[in-house]
Amino acid sequence: MEKVDTAHPMGGAQAPVEFFSKSLAARTAASDVDVDGSTVAYWTYQPVKATDTTRTILVIHGFRGDHHGLLRVADLLPEMRIIMPDLPAFGSSEPFVDDEHSVERYGRFIEGFMAALDLGPQTVLLGHSFGSIVASHFVASHPGAVTPLVLINPIAAPALEGPKGVMTKLAVFYYQISAKLPRILGLAILRNRAIVRIMSITMAKTKDKQLRRFIHGQHDAYFSAFADRNSLLESFKASVSGNVADVAEQLNLPVLLVAGEKDEIATLPSQHKLLERLPDGTLEVIPGVGHLIHYETPEPAAASIRTFLEEHPA
């Protein structure tokens, strides 16, 4: 049964209202659906006014995120119908039933979710960060299921290699230890506000104090909304074991890469290398931003998506 999402998209009184338009709430409906035995929560943002260029965009969020992360981008595409589920084991969605939370399994989730909502091949698929891995691998194994593909802050190179490899291995150890410790202690470490804040400060590149407060508030509110420690560990291993470049040559459809100039997780040189391997790729680089395009620079991201879809009509 469909229900109206009455919760403020900002996550409570701490968030400044000016980061979202007044029309967003009116476009919003929250629903849930059973996919392979798991209840999945999803949000639909209807177009303010449907036109011949209105498309349905299915959004796949990043690791430890939920549908709130891409809200600023959705808000700036009022002519589009946007569907944003909380991935299984994150936000308000249940984990998979007796299945590992792997890239391949999340791809099967997309297939089941699209079937449940009767989303056809004209659906636009958008993935952010870890969602870019899931989305690209799904497209590679399901040719013709969607068109085109949009990847924001795409993970374009192996996380366990290169200068960031050591930090990634330390992060793997962090999640492994947290999963093995007694439950209360393990969850306390994973949800530690100081650790979440350090992560948030590290990724944010903006100098705007109000925007930085907004970003930190978003991470405080939603970064710890995961189902359990084991599914979180499985999802993290999936996020660092695959990348978009693994399947680049199999992406035989138009692909838009929206990259941050200062992204230290999905670096700009790796984006250029990925672009060279795509059969039909476009790269848009947003200056002055890192891995938080969806929070810091949603305006140029939305503009790039709109132009790309105009160039690749249904």
Q: CB of 27 within 8 A of CB of 236?
A: no
3-state secondary structure of 211: helix
pLDDT for the residue 166:
61
Q: Which range is least confidently modeled, 10-24, 170-184, 281-295?
A: 10-24
Taking alpha carbons only, the member of 59, 104, 88 closest to residue 225 is: 88
Single-letter code of the amino acid located at 66: D
Chain length of the chain? 314
pLDDT higher than 60, residue 139: yes
Taking alpha carbons only, the member of 5, 30, 41, 2 closest to residue 227 is: 41
Q: Could you read off the pLDDT of 59-118 as tens digits, one per residue? A: 999 999 999 999 999 999 999 999 999 999 999 999 999 899 999 999 999 999 999 999
Taking alpha carbons only, the member of 134, 84, 89 closest to residue 246 is: 134
For residue 34, report the phi and psi dihedrals to the nearest 5 degrees.
-85, 125
- Mean residue pLDDT of the chain comes to 91
Q: How far apart are CA 214 and CA 293, in angstroms?
A: 14
Interstrand relation of 149-152 and 255-260 (parallel, antiparallel or unpaired): parallel
Taking alpha carbons only, the member of 109, 156, 130 closest to residue 275 is: 156
